[in-house]
Amino acid sequence: MSLFENYILSQKENFESKWFEILRIPSISTLEKFKPEILKAADWFRNRFLEIGLHSELIETIGYPLVYAETPAVADAPVVLVYGHYDVQPPDPMELWQSPPFEPTIRNGNVYARGATDDKGQFLTHVFAVESLIKSGEKLPFQIKFIVEGEEEYGGKGIDHFLHSDEGQKKLACDCVLVSDTSMFGFGQPTITYGLRGITAFELFLTGPNRDLHSGTFGGSVFNPAIALTKILSQFIDEKGVVQVPGFYDDVIPLTDRERTQFANLDFDDNAFFEKIGLSQGFGETGFSTNERRWARPTFDINGLTSGYQGEGSKTIIPSKASAKFTCRLVPNQNPHTIADSVRKFIASQIPPGITWKLEVQHGAPGMRLDLDTSKFTVPMSNALEKTFNCSPVFTREGGSIPVVAEFQRVLKAEVLLVGWGQDDDALHSPNEKFSLTSFHSGILASARFFAELAQQQ
């Protein structure tokens, strides 16, 4: 066993306790009042980088700060940029957590906490890998950079803006962006994710009368905003799961036969997949398999609806207002701005009499895809994965979004390598988010072996 592998084994407890430290910081980016915690989390990462001897700095942005770190530059050698995010989603509904979301707790070999996997635990595997290589005296004949953002879960505007500045492009210049913020295709099955969906997020506000009205006195004589909202939203998809917004599919590149065969050959059981989430069956666009629907087809989803009286008993009113948050997941080549324009037109054509409306586009990002045929970094990564998990990786796409990755490809002309250590049932964004301790430690080993493979190639 090499020195760095020994070091990794010897540091298991230490790595876990460091990981728990950052999980205790509730760095929720979507809620303004958690800003101090966001800043605390950024500082925590900076201090970790400094402790392992890297140059590190906080970079102010138009949003929350980025944490940057780097090993010394090496001429004529590749640069790997490791990307992650230190922010997390809100924990609610709180009452469904079996242990407090910001008090990491071990049960059945898993660590339960908000951010356990998404993305603090996953990102840290690379920090610990680099620490292990440095502390055990390994030579790094190429440069490793780290960039950690604090608002990925809220659209990533700070990093996007930085990436479009000269300073950003200089600082983040690299050949490969390594990201662990996705899942494995089953426990112990290493996975390289070569595509992600993009997203456009909206909030629609409808207003009717200037106050809640008595539904007896006024019912039948005015358009009810809650009815207007449900009518409009119900037009978005038909009974075949096809999005009805004109032009929605115009830029979608159809799945190739090769890709469809590759997806179909994955070991995947529809029934088991739906059973795990308490459903007797799934639903989606006719003519596509479950994995095609969730990885490679665009969608419309309502994320939240608000209107009228929600308290106990009944209240006979016509609400004054109704609103909804909704998102479209996009596939590569669909433009989030074009989609936002089409959605706006689609809504405008359906506003009933007496109702005023406002549509806010909250954030948007395109989907991404890595060309596996020309990729230079999947081979060393596959070797590292094979050594660690004793089986070769599968290649999948995934349906989630990491807003900045498509821009990394476009602006930095870098290869984006998505290698996750999570599981589909890790409950990201849900109560009782978890990350397996085994996956965490394997992730550290695999990451260090990837860097060691690259070192050997130099």
Footprint of ligand BES (CB under 6 A):
118-119, 152-153, 155, 181-183, 199, 363, 398, 400-403, 428
If the CB atoms of residues 81 and 402 are measured against ligand BES, the closer one turns out to be 402
**Rounded to the nearest whole angstrom, what is the least distance from the CB of residue 152 to Zn ion in the complex?**
6
CB of 401 to ligand BES, least distance (A): 4
Q: Do 154 and 363 contact (CB within 8 A), yes or no?
A: yes
Work out how close the CB of 99 gets to ligand BES at its nearest, in angstroms, rounded to a whole number.
22
How many angstroms separate the Cα of 432 from the Cα of each of 131, 354, 429?
Answer: 29, 44, 9
Q: Cis ω on the peptide bond leading into residue 36 (within 30° of 0)?
A: no
Longest Cα–Cα distance of the chain, Å, equals: 81
CA distance 328 to 362: 12
**Of 417 and 428, which has the nearer Cβ to ligand BES?**
428
Answer yes or no: are the C-beta atoms of 145 and 90 closer than 8 Å. Answer: no
Residue 367's binding partner among ligand BES, Zn ion, none (Cβ under 5 to 8 angstroms by kind) is none
Q: Which does residue 69 touch among ligand BES, Zn ion, none (CB within 5 to 8 A, set by kind)?
A: none
Which CB atom, from 138 or from 153, has the smaller least distance to Zn ion?
153
Comparing CA positions, the residue from 323, 346, 347 lying closest to residue 208 is: 323
Binds 400, which of ligand BES, Zn ion, none (CB < 5 to 8 A, cut-off by type)? ligand BES
Contact indicator for 325, 30 with CB cutoff of 8 Å: no
CA distance 23 to 288: 39
Q: Is residue 415 a contact point for Zn ion (CB under 5 A)?
A: no
Closest CB to Zn ion among 119 and 398?
119
Cα–Cα dist 452/449, whole Å: 5
With CB cut-offs between 5 and 8 Å by kind, which of Zn ion, ligand BES, none does residue 190 bind? none
- Identify which of residues 363 and 449 has a Cβ nearer to ligand BES in the complex: 363
Smallest distance, Zn ion to C-beta of residue 85, A: 6
Which distant-in-sequence residues (6+ apart) come within 8 Å of 383 by Cβ? 449, 453
By a kind-dependent CB cut-off of 5 to 8 A, residue 199 interacts, out of ligand BES, Zn ion, none, with ligand BES
**Inter-residue contact 112 to 39 (CB < 8 Å):** no
- Scan residues 119-148 and list those touching Zn ion (CB under 5 A): 119
| Distance (Å, whole) CA 192 – CA 185 | 9
**Cis preceding linkage at 119, omega within 30:** yes
| Residue 51 neighbours by CB under 8 Å, 6+ apart | none
- Give the residue with the Cβ less far from Zn ion, 37 or 151: 151
Query: Which residue's C-beta sits nearest to ligand BES?
Result: 400
From the list 12-20, 176-184, 415-423, 439-447, the region that binds Zn ion by CB under 5 A is 176-184
Under 8 Å between Cβ of 64 and 152: no
Residue 451 CB, shortest distance to Zn ion, in Å, is 22
Position 181 contacts Zn ion (CB under 5 A): yes
89-118: contacts with Zn ion (CB under 5 A):
118
Q: Between residues 343 and 417, which has the closer beta carbon with respect to Zn ion?
A: 417
Structure tokens given for 117: 């996997």
CB 276 within 8 A of CB 284: no
Q: How far is the CB of 156 from ligand BES (least distance, A)?
A: 7
Find the helix or strand (DSSP H, E) in which 146 lies.
Answer: strand 143-149
Q: In the complex with Zn ion, which residue's Cβ is closer, 70 or 151?
A: 151
Coil, strand, or helix at residue 8?
A: helix
Backbone angles phi, psi at 123, to 5 degrees: -65, -40
Query: Considering the complex, what minimum distance in angstroms separates the CB of residue 181 from ligand BES?
Result: 4
Output the smallest distance, CB 387 to ligand BES, in A: 24
Compare residues 118 and 292 and give the one whose CB is closer to Zn ion: 118
With CB under 5 to 8 Å by kind, the binding choice for 78 among Zn ion, ligand BES, none is none
Please compute Rg for the chain using Cα positions: 23
Summarize as ranges the residues that interact with Zn ion (CB under 5 A).
Answer: 118-119, 181
